[in-house]
Every structure is written in C-alpha cells, then in structure tokens.
Amino acid sequence: MRNLMVKIKYDGRNFCGWQVQNDLRTVQSVFQTALRDILKENVPIIGCSRTDSGVHANEFCVSFHTASMIPCDRLPLALNAKLPADIAAFGCQEVPDEFHARYSCKGKQYRYLILNAPLRDPFWHARALWYKYPLDAAFMNGQAEGYLGTHDFSAFCSANSDVRDKVRRVTQCAVRRLPEDRNMIEFTVTADGFLYNMVRIMVGTLLQMSAGRLTRDSIPSIIASKDRGQAGFTADACGLYLNKVLY
C-alpha cells in the first residue's frame, strides 16, 4: 500500500464545505467519487481541514492509502479529467506511511479578501466580501499585530464550538492593499491551528475597529477577556481562502 498526498484547490461557492453530508454537494464527496473512478477502489480519504460552506481553498491537502501504482505525476491529470470545473488537483507525492493530512499538519495560512469599493463588482461575487465604506489598510495592519503570539482565542471562536483547548499560536498576521488591484484588501494570518470561525471573527473585529465601533488597540484586551461578545462580527465566508498548509 502506498500513502499519497494530493494537493487540490477549489472555488467554494457551490459547495457545502469539505465534509461529506447527506444529500449535499461537498468537496469531499465529489473528490472521493472521482478518485474511486480512477483507482477502482473505495479508499477512505483524509482532508487537512474542515472548511465551511462557501469557503475557498488555494491549497488543500488530501491523503489516502491505495494499492494503485498510478504514477504521482499522472494522478492529478487523471483527477482533473473527472473533477468538475470548480475543483482542480495540482500536485501529488508519495508520503511516509504514518503521514496524516490533518494530524501531521504543523500550521495553516488563511487569506481573506475584501473588495473595498463604493460599487460592487459582479466578478467578485461570493469570492470576496464587498465593503463599500473607506478602509485604511495601514491602520488595519497595525491593529492586526495584536493577534500575534500565543493566546487563548476564546473571544475569537464561535460560541457553539465544543473545542476545549482554545490556545493557538499566531506567527504571522498582515493587512495590505493589493498592488495589482487597489480596491482589494488582503488579510493573511498564519498559525499552528485555528478555531471555528476564528479568521472570520478576526476580520470582523478589524472592520468594526475601522468603523469606530470598537476601540483602537483593543485586540489584546479582547483576547484577555475570553468573551466572544467583546470581539467583532463574523465576516461572511465568501472572502475566506485556505491559502497554504504547513507540514
């Protein structure tokens, strides 16, 4: 048996997240069907994360054991011939037998896109959050530094989460206007792990600080409070991308 890791990317607009759900179109169910058609065996697949409905991925890693001897350089080509247009495989490698796409992961980077323009753009519909009021990316970048470090991020976790350990280490966090499109603001954050809706709440908090609804420089005190009610709203899923998986 070989243990393979396949890298995929997908547009999450028409998926109800990663995980298989009865009678719903999910990334896992669609990928699993394509893989079964190619390998001629029903292999359990492991995803690196559980992205929500409407969330996108620039890099998502899937691992599985298979008896198939299909070469790694051929598998993405074969998968892309079976997968729908909103998913694509772009890499495959053989990994050690003990490798696990989720539990071997040492960290992830997420990207959140905000279309900051007075008028909406249909080409970014469900691919970025449209925010029509002016934003100061430099101000947001300075405020985002408050997220850096190892903290209990209970205040930035959805209230219905059942995760007990909410301590995470954020190693990178930045906000900028993209040089190729000055209407687009990009928020990136890298950590050893993320809580449910953590990135979307981080973004919502920065937007409410920009609007003056939360006090500037208050992120450390919000973190210290461990109170979800102290942080900002949960930004829409449409702007969120799993950008990189670290092993």
Q: Are residues 209 and 165 in the same domain?
A: yes
pLDDT at 9 over 90: yes
| Domain count for the chain | 2
Q: How many Cα atoms sit within 13 Å of 187 on the Cβ side? A: 31
pLDDT score recorded for residue 160: 84
In a domain, 219, yes or no: yes
Q: Are residues 85 and 188 in the same domain?
A: no
* Average pLDDT value over all residues in the chain: 97
- Domain of 237 in residue numbering reads as 107-246
pLDDT score recorded for residue 53: 95
What is the domain-level CATH number for residue 48? 3.30.70.580
pLDDT score recorded for residue 33: 97
Q: Are residues 235 and 144 in the same domain?
A: yes
What is the domain-level CATH number for residue 177? 3.30.70.660
In a domain, 139, yes or no: yes
In a domain, 102, yes or no: no
List pLDDT tens digits, range 140-155.
Answer: 999 999 999 999 999 9
Active-site residue identified among 11, 52, 121, 152: 52
Distances (CA, A) of 192 to 14, 50, 163: 28, 15, 15
DSSP letter, residue 241: E
pLDDT score recorded for residue 159: 86
In a domain, 101, yes or no: no
pLDDT score recorded for residue 40: 96
In a domain, 216, yes or no: yes
List pLDDT tens digits, range 82-124.
Answer: 999 999 999 999 999 999 999 999 999 999 999 999 999 999 9
Active-site residue flag, 73: no
| Final residue belonging to a domain, choices 94, 120, 150 | 94
Q: Are residues 143 and 219 in the same domain?
A: yes
Q: Are residues 178 and 60 in the same domain?
A: no
List pLDDT tens digits, range 15-54.
Answer: 999 999 999 999 999 999 999 999 999 999 999 999 999 9
List pLDDT tens digits, range 152-184.
Answer: 999 999 988 889 999 999 999 999 999 999 999
Angle at 12 between CA 10 and CA 16, to 5 degrees: 125
> What is the biggest distance separating any 2 CA atoms in the chain, rounded to whole angstroms?
59
Q: Residue 188's CB: how many other CB atoms inside 10 A?
A: 18
pTM, rounded to two decimals: 0.95
Q: Are residues 81 and 112 in the same domain?
A: no
